[in-house]
């Protein structure tokens, strides 16, 4: 596979987009660290990857806690000897309220997971990758890294910030053989959207010129490309996989 002999880490890999990314990495030959705050889902993901012939191990971590992320990178190196690829995928949607009514705690929680968590990931991954002599990071942003999500200010702000963080890393690490890019999926069929009502889902579908939501696999294909040597001249970028959502 295109990731033979690579060691890859995926956060939030117990479900949805992260699970599809972890499976794709493993299918392409990488040894994968599946990390999640949800131990049951993370362990199930490892079993699924192994049953598909891949190599994976579960390491529990809450990405919103710096010390747990630092320990996660340490464990990765202890288990598989190095870190070549990291996908910072763990994220939450958060409360839905007008900005003037948005709860202070809700705001902090979303920013803590979606932004602080990605920063902690990048910080400790970069440190490790510098020791390795190189590496690749892919941060999962959203279309809301460039357009609004009415009633989800915290989410929009956090994803715009992830795009900015990614650009900065691209600028800083260009000569250190470390590439970092962000991905902007539109609405994807995942457990994150399961709570949405039928009407809400229909309204969401209507915002995509392609007339449907995306699949986790369609996001994983882009992440896989960016994580591989095929994307060897790509860093600091933000790439959409959005069925045309942001084009209209």
Please report how close the Cβ of residue 11 comes to ligand NAD at its closest, in angstroms: 6
Residue 16 binding ligand NAD, by CB under 6 A: yes
Contact 179, 169 (CB under 8 A): no
**Angle, CA 141 vertex, CA 138 and CA 143 arms, to 5°:** 135
Does residue 208 bind ligand NAD (CB under 6 A)? no
Asked if residue 17 binds ligand NAD (CB under 6 A), the reply is yes
Of 25-33, 75-83, 183-191, 228-236, the window that binds ligand NAD (rule: CB under 6 A) is 183-191
Q: Counting contacts by CB under 6 A, is residue 86 touching ligand NAD?
A: no
- Catalytic residue list contains 155: yes
- Residue in 102, 120, 124, 155 annotated catalytic: 155
Q: Which stretch binds ligand NAD (CB under 6 A): 2-10, 124-132, 173-181, 182-190?
A: 182-190
CB of residue 193 to ligand NAD, shortest distance in Å: 6
Position 15 contacts ligand NAD (CB under 6 A): yes
Q: Which two tokens stand for residue 71?
A: 């320990």
Q: For tokens 């990071």, what's the residue?
A: 137
Q: Which two tokens stand for residue 103?
A: 């709860």
Q: Is the dihedral of CA 103, 106, 107, 108 positive or negative?
A: positive
Does position 224 interact with ligand NAD (CB under 6 A)? The reply is no
Greatest Cα pair distance in the chain = 50
Per CB under 6 A, 24 contacts ligand NAD: no
Q: Can you name the residues that pair with 56 across neighbouring β-strands?
A: 32
Nearest in space to 117 (alpha carbons), one of 145, 89, 78:
89
Residue written as token pair 């960016």: 226
By the criterion CB under 6 A, which residues form the site for ligand NAD? Answer: 11-12, 14-18, 36-38, 41, 62-64, 89-92, 113, 117, 140, 142, 185, 187-188, 190-193
């Amino acid at each position: 596979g295109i990731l033979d002999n690579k060691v890859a880490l995926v956060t939030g890999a117990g479900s949805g987009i992260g699970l599809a990314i972890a499976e794709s990495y493993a299918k392409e030959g990488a040894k994968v660290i599946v990390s999640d705050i949800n131990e049951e889902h993370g362990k199930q993901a490892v079993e699924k990857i192994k049953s598909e012939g891949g190599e994976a191990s579960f390491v529990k971590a809450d990405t919103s806690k710096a010390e747990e992320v630092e320990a996660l990178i340490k464990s990765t190196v202890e288990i598989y000897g190095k870190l070549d690829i990291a996908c910072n995928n763990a994220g939450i949607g958060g409360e839905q309220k007008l900005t003037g009514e948005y709860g202070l705690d809700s705001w902090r929680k979303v920013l803590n997971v979606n932004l602080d968590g990605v920063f902690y990931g990048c910080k400790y991954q970069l440190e490790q990758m510098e020791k390795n002599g190189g590496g690749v990071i892919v941060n999962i942003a959203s279309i809301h890294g460039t357009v609004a999500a009415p009633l989800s200010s915290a989410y929009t702000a956090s994803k715009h910030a992830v795009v900015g963080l990614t650009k900065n890393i691209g600028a800083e690490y260009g000569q250190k053989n470390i590439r970092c890019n962000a991905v902007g999926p539109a609405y994807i069929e995942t457990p994150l959207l399961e709570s949405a009502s039928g009407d809400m889902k229909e309204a969401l579908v209507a915002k995509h010129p392609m007339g449907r939501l995306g699949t986790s696999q369609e996001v994983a294909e882009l992440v896989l490309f960016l994580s591989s040597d095929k994307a060897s001249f790509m860093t600091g970028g933000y790439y959409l996989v959005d069925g045309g959502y942001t084009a209209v």
